[in-house]
Amino acid sequence: MSESLEQAAKLVDDLLQAAKTGAIIPVRLAGQIEAIQQALEKAKADEKTALDAASKAAAPVDQEAFMKDQAGFFGHAIHELRTPMTSIRGYSDMMVSMGSLNDMQKQFMEVIRTNAKRLEALMQDVADMNKLRAGTLKMTPRMDMFKNIALVTEKQMQPLAEQLKHTMTFEIPSGLPLLNLDGDVLARALNKLVENALRYHEGEDGTVTLKAASDGSTLVITVQDDGIGMTAEELTHMGEVYYRSESELVRSYKGSGLGMAVAFGIVKVLDGTIKVESEHGVGTTVTIRLPGMGG
């Protein structure tokens, strides 16, 4: 395990032990959670540096083996980090539900819950990205209707839409091509696209629309928003690992820079294509095309 991951694991373990023994000091929690996140961010940066070095120094076959080895290593490390993080989140949820906290304590606990969720999302993104780059992402293809997959994304993204006070609309007609793929994996990609569309919007009352249509035996999915949009330069970086716009609004949300890269990677392994069109200050439209059964 790398030094950064070892540090993150130790910090998580210390926090978990404190939670179990009742030794948590509320005023220190936000800093402790932030330290864990910084350690994971450094591990992510260290991985990129190692991969870049391997790309320059190794032959293609060696690089492929290195990528798979790295994916296995990070998968194990993230699994070890995820277990105590789940406990920390569970303890914080339990403490809030007990109803005996004062306003300041409730604020501390909300910081813990928010940062725990961010860490869980970061660990999932890192895990997915490593598996995609190594070609080891496990999928279970099965026949499915797109409306079932869209319902999963709608259910999971609705709380965020309500929190940000935006309107989210899903337009899924009948008669769409049947799919033979892992619907859960596709839903993860759609979640990333819808989340971006919801977050990067100035003010409230934004609109995000997910539509589906058929083009012969091909399923066409569009995610459209009326948010801040992107410049021509920003569009050229779509799908790049760790890329984040310099926009003040984008930087105000502490994302990982992996969301779009994960979405692009998933669509690719599903034998689909993805296209992004955007106008700065007007909005963005992402179009995915996926082969249906019989296509």
Domain ranges of the chain: 3-134, 142-291
CA distance 235 to 219: 24
Rg (CA), the chain: 20
CA distance 105 to 239: 40
Q: Kindly state the percentage of the chain with pLDDT values over 70.
A: 73
CA distance 147 to 173: 8
Q: How confident is the model at residue 197 (pLDDT cuts 50, 70, 90)?
A: very high
User: Domain 142-291: which CATH class?
Assistant: alpha beta
Over residues 51-69, mean pLDDT: 59
**CATH of range 3-134; options 1.10.390, 2.60.120, 1.25.40, 1.20.120:** 1.20.120
Q: Give the list of residues 6+ apart from residue 121 with CB closer than 8 angstroms, or none.
A: 256
* Per-residue confidence (pLDDT) for residue 192, from 0 to 100: 94
Q: Residues, the chain, total?
A: 295
Asked if the model's pLDDT at residue 57 lies above 70, the reply is no
CA 92 to chain centre: 22
**Structure confidence by residue, pLDDT tens digits, 214-232:** 999 999 999 999 998 999 9
**Structure confidence by residue, pLDDT tens digits, 243-280:** 777 777 766 666 667 889 999 999 999 999 999 999 99
* Per-residue confidence (pLDDT) for residue 107, from 0 to 100: 83
Query: How many other C-beta atoms can be found within 10 angstroms of the C-beta atom of residue 19?
Result: 20
Q: Which residue has the higher pLDDT, 63 or 277?
A: 277
Cα distances (Å, whole numbers) of residue 16 to 9, 22, 38, 269, 285: 10, 10, 18, 37, 43
Q: Which residue has the higher pLDDT, 250 or 102?
A: 102
Query: How many other C-beta atoms can be found within 10 angstroms of the C-beta atom of residue 190?
Result: 25
Phi/psi of residue 135, nearest 5 degrees: 70, 30
Q: Give the list of residues 6+ apart from residue 29 with CB closer than 8 angstroms, or none.
A: 15, 108, 111, 112
Asked if the model's pLDDT at residue 59 lies above 50, the reply is no
Cα distances (Å, whole numbers) of residue 271 to 32, 40, 175, 186: 42, 31, 21, 11
